[in-house]
Structure 1
Amino acid sequence: MTKIAILASHNGSGFDTIYENAKELNISIELLISNNSDSLALQKAKERGIECYLINSKTEPDPDQKIYDLINDKNCSMIYLSGYMKKISSDLTSNFKVINSHPSLLPKYGGKGMYGRFVHEAVIKNKDKISGCTLHYVNDVYDDGEIILQNKINLDDQESVESLEKKIKQLEAKTIIEGLKKCLN
């Protein structure tokens, strides 16, 4: 069984997907860490009986070291970023498999500041006909790591930011499961 840690800043929809499919994936979620005291993911982790921590510059003098120590102490081999909005340290990327899901077909619409709704707004503004999501390994550059899996959808002529966001969220859940199966085998 693969032990993983989840890092989430807000809702943690990727966390939900992994939690709901943990048995099938042969994954044990050992802990969830958030940098945001208002994180819905923290609340979900508490309700699910998963060890969870709030770690940021207000709670720790060296948040990156604290995160590293907690993950290492739990013997996790993988970290999944579920909408984690802070750049993670190179200690994490060099010592663990770190995986992120991005709501575009990288390298399009990747990089600092390109997340969630901002990505979908750019896709609609540019009148793209295809969008999708990417599961990738994380390195020291935003959205630059090796791609594990991409899934695509066609956009309707009347596509809105809201409708695209909903479609990508559904596609993302499927992509997370398929991609994790691929990199766990």
Structure 2
Amino acid sequence: MKKNIAIFASGSGTNAENIIRYFEENDLIRVSLVLSNRSDALVLERAQGLHVPTAVFSKDDWQTGKAILTLLKTHHIDFIVLAGFLLRVPLPLLHAYPNKIINIHPALLPNYGGKGMYGDRVHEAVVAAGEKESGITIHYIDEHYDEGSIIFQAQCEVLPDDSPKEVARKVHGLEYKYYPSIIEKVVLK
């Protein structure tokens, strides 16, 4: 029986699209639902274009978790993947999906993580600090931002003249290369 994944995303959805495409022909895993906290998130269009059901939820639904849990159960969701999702996961979802929610962060945690550290803000901080490397961290979610157990990290070099945009390009390459295969390993273990 296939394992069903739900992707939570807040933005453009390039990682979500990459994940959906990765699992399109998979016999064991499928992306069955994409959820967003923003009705204008481009991820919704990307998912619909790939024939994946979508839903948008309100702030109240997110905080209580009840309506979201009902939706996840309706779609028989076994595992949750965060892909550019900016809200902290509430306790009802953490309790319903223990060790079954993972996230990708665009830096080498524990550095450059925490509330407010996402997207370009992370890359700007990496460059401003003069770091020689950056990368991605795939980790389980807990009740704190970016503090769950680390599953996987991959590094890329940061050159002295790299702009935050160049660092972002390198990090995105790592995300697209590794996130789907790490999801597959975690879901099937």
Q: TM-score range by the shorter chain?
A: over 0.9
Q: What is the rounded CA distance, in whole Å, between the counterparts of 1:103 and 1:25 in structure 2?
A: 29
The question of whether the paired residues in 1 share the 8 Å contact of 2:107 and 2:122 is answered with yes
The question of whether the paired residues in 2 share the 8 Å contact of 1:9 and 1:84 is answered with yes
Local SS of the residue matching 2:59: coil
TM-score (structure 2 length as normaliser): 0.91
The question of whether the paired residues in 1 share the 8 Å contact of 2:62 and 2:68 is answered with no
- Using the aligned pairs only, state the percent identity: 34
Displacement of 1:182: 2.7
The question of whether the paired residues in 2 share the 8 Å contact of 1:25 and 1:181 is answered with no
CA RMSD, Structure 1 to Structure 2 (Å): 1.7
Structure 2 unpaired stretches of 5+ = none
Alignment of 1:90-101 (within 5 A): 90-96=91-97, 97-101=100-104
The answer to whether residue 75 in structure 2 is matched with residue 74 in structure 1 is yes
Q: Which amino acid aligns with 2:58?
A: N
Give the aligned length: 184
Aligned residue number for residue 109 of structure 1: 112
Q: What is the rounded CA distance, in whole Å, between the counterparts of 1:19 and 1:61 in structure 2?
A: 23
Alignment of 1:22-171 (within 5 A): 22=23, 23-24=25-26, 26-57=28-59, 64-96=65-97, 97-171=100-174
Alignment of 1:9-24 (within 5 A): 9-22=10-23, 23-24=25-26
State the Cα deviation string for residues 79-123 of structure 1 (Å, max 9, x = none): 011111111211212222111000000110000000000000000
Runs of 4+ in structure 1 off by over 6 angstroms are none
Q: What is the rounded CA distance, in whole Å, between the counterparts of 1:17 and 1:150 in structure 2?
A: 18
Structure 1 unpaired stretches of 5+ = none
Displacement of 1:63: 6.0
TM-score (structure 1 length as normaliser): 0.93
